[in-house]
Amino acid sequence: MPASPSALRVAELGSFLAARRSEVTPEQVGLPGGGSRRLPGLRREEVAMLAGIGASWYAWIEQGRAKNVSLEILKAIARVLRLTEMEFLYMARLAGYTVAHRPQGPIDDERRLAAGVVDSFLPKPAYFLNRYWDIVAANRSAERLLGLEGANHNYLESLFLDPLAPARFADWEAVATEAVAHFRTQSGEFLGDPRLAALTQYLCECSPAFADLWNRHRFSDGTEVGLELLHPELGPVRLTQICLDFTARPGLQLVLLETQPGAMSDRLARWGREASRDVVAPA
């Protein structure tokens, strides 16, 4: 029998805390360093002592056995582990202090909604991702710029499983790190979704790079990210990637690619207008 979403959230909370604990050194929290430590970071009993809670209770939290962890305890743990505000909110959501799941509309509805929107941004590139990071709609500029022509695309599969992907970016590692951090932040709201779990497992099995980044438990809201593409026609293209979420459609996000005003912006606009005039005859 599959685990319930609540059980998955408790397990993810424990995994998250263990990952963060391994990155805090004793010196950072005022404890003496050195000594015989088999693993990096703080010990469980050290986190419990500094947070003012029982060592057994903290161990239960990491093991996914604790129920109804109070917000005060979470705040104390967050202080010890030096969590950011985003990380604390993620942890609180896993513990049940915010809405963790909202219904999603049919994918066909997403496509109808998205298709008309992206073309309104031409000649600027724009595309939509759903909660699985499928590209549900993209305008012609985005298709040509990102190589999205042809069959349906999943952004993460293209980024991690396409052997040509690293050559498309000046700093593929930075792009990949940001993408996984953003995906993990977003996917915390949909734990228990079978397809999301299958996608994550598939990527972990097929891409050691994805598996490593996933297990780091990094987080990002992905609101505004800089990236540089290496395009065969345009050469280096510096862009600002802006992601906008839709409250009424959980998991659906509009991605806009902007350039700084100047020669490259004008060139990309001309290129985009040419792309938007292309007429592809039906097969």
| Residues 182/4/11/160 CA torsion (nearest 10 deg) | -30
User: Is 80 exceeded by the pLDDT of residue 116?
Assistant: no
User: Per CATH, which fold does 107-277 belong to?
Assistant: Beta-Lactamase (3.30.450)
Alpha-helical regions (H) of the chain = 5-21, 44-51, 55-62, 71-80, 85-94, 107-119, 140-146, 155-161, 172-187, 194-206, 208-214, 263-277
pLDDT tens digit sequence for 76-107: 999 999 998 888 988 998 898 864 444 455 45
Q: Where are the domains of the chain?
A: 5-94, 107-277
CATH superfamily name and code, 5-94: lambda repressor-like DNA-binding domains (1.10.260.40)
User: Is 50 exceeded by the pLDDT of residue 280?
Assistant: no
pLDDT tens digit sequence for 154-192: 999 999 999 999 999 999 999 999 999 999 998 888 888
Mean pLDDT lowest among 98-102, 111-115, 136-140, 154-158: 98-102
Which pTM value belongs to this model? 0.76
24-38 mean pLDDT: 80
Of 43 and 38, more confident: 43
Provide the pLDDT for residue 263. Answer: 64
How much of the chain, in percent, has pLDDT values that exceed 70? 87
20-36 mean pLDDT: 84
Provide the pLDDT for residue 174. Answer: 94
How much of the chain, in percent, has pLDDT values that exceed 90? 44
Q: Predicted confidence band at 63 (pLDDT cuts at 50, 70, 90)?
A: very high
Contact residues for 80 (Cβ-Cβ < 8 A; gap 6+): 24, 29, 42, 47, 50, 51
Of 4 and 159, more confident: 159
Provide the pLDDT for residue 57. Answer: 94
User: Is 60 exceeded by the pLDDT of residue 267?
Assistant: yes
Provide the pLDDT for residue 271. Answer: 73
- Nearest 5°: phi and psi at 133? 65, 30
- Nearest 5°: phi and psi at 109? -65, -40
Encoded tokens for 109? 């509805």
What mean pLDDT, rounded, does the chain reach? 85
pLDDT tens digit sequence for 187-244: 888 888 899 999 999 999 999 999 999 999 999 888 888 889 998 888 888 899 999 8
